[in-house]
Amino acid sequence: MATASDEAFAYLLVENYWSTWSAVDLEQYHKEPTFENGSVKKKKRTATFGKYTQNAYGAKRFGGWTRDGLIRFNELHAEVKADREKNGITVEQNFKTHCLSTYGTPKKVQKLYGRDVVAVCEDVTDLI
């Protein structure tokens, strides 16, 4: 489960770092030097900045999100909420069908081994 904010943030992270991630040379990355015991020598990595993160050093090592990044997050959040209102039920039904076809219905109910059942408060459903 994820909130609309969680999903929008995940999209923002992908957008923010896509150019950096797509530029990684995987062939060179896998050819990192190794020691005699087979462990990999770690390369010193430099800080990389994304499309929406500020380039700042000092007490605050990274500068945080730019104004454009915050605006883009709000746009993504609105898109996610609209998509969930339009397609949310269909996605949940498809997922339930997939789970039932993959794993089947439960065959037996798990025993509680003599323990008393206690209801626990939760507010996750309020987030949906």
Domain that holds residue 86: 1-23+51-104
Q: Is residue 45 part of a domain?
A: no
The predicted structure's pLDDT at residue 58 = 45
Count of CB atoms within 10 A of residue 69's CB?
18
Q: Is residue 38 part of a domain?
A: no
- 14 falls in which pLDDT band (50, 70, 90)? very high
Number of domains in the chain: 1
Q: Is residue 42 part of a domain?
A: no
pLDDT in tens, 66-91: 889 999 999 999 999 999 899 888 88
This prediction's pTM: 0.57
Say whether pLDDT at 100 is over 90.
Answer: no
Calculate the alpha carbon distances from 113 to 55, 91, 109 in Å: 57, 36, 12
Q: Is residue 9 part of a domain?
A: yes
| Neighbouring residues of 63: CB distance < 8 A, sequence distance ≥ 6 | 53, 54, 55, 56
Say whether pLDDT at 126 is over 70.
Answer: no
Q: Which residue has the higher pLDDT, 12 or 93?
A: 12
Question: What integer best gives the mean pLDDT of the chain?
Answer: 76
Asked if residue 53 lies in contact with residue 64, where contact means CB atoms within 8 angstroms, the answer is: yes
Q: Is residue 90 part of a domain?
A: yes
Q: Is residue 74 part of a domain?
A: yes
